[in-house]
Amino acid sequence: MTAKEVINKALFLLGYNDGLGNTSDARFQTAAKNAVNFILADLIHCLGREDYGDIKSLSDEISMPKRVLYDVMPYGVAAFIAESIGDGEKQQYFAAMYNSKRKTVVYEDSVQD
């Protein structure tokens, strides 16, 4: 999945796009890349990996387990985007969702009961 696809999923969750998934609002574009990098750093740490590196462009592929990419990362990106434009209600909701989902991301070599 590319950074752009994660951002589009986050914008869809927030309802900040049209029916086709497009948005032309520059506020989202400026915040989105930083949001992906913040959440990427957090999730890499949660997975116990050391291969952190910022995405350079929105077409960069993100190397994470599929479940993390599709079910965890978009919620964190959505929280950062909402915060960056001052949408406190959605920021709180998506931050809570992200933190809940983030708890399921564990070191790959750990054992859970």
- Confidence (pLDDT) at 111: 54
The alpha carbon of residue 91 and the mean position of all alpha carbons in its chain are separated, in whole angstroms, by: 13
Question: Are the CB atoms for 36 and 7 separated by under 8 Å?
Answer: yes
Does the structure show a pLDDT above 70 at 107? no
pLDDT in tens, 70-82: 999 999 999 999 9
Question: Are the CB atoms for 12 and 21 separated by under 8 Å?
Answer: yes
Cα(36)–Cα(16) distance, integer angstroms = 17
pLDDT in tens, 41-59: 999 988 888 877 788 888 9
Question: Are the CB atoms for 81 and 10 separated by under 8 Å?
Answer: yes
Question: Are the CB atoms for 99 and 29 separated by under 8 Å?
Answer: no
Q: Angle at Cα 99 formed by Cα 67 and Cα 50, nearest 5°?
A: 60
- Confidence (pLDDT) at 57: 87
> Could you tell me the pTM of the whole model?
0.85
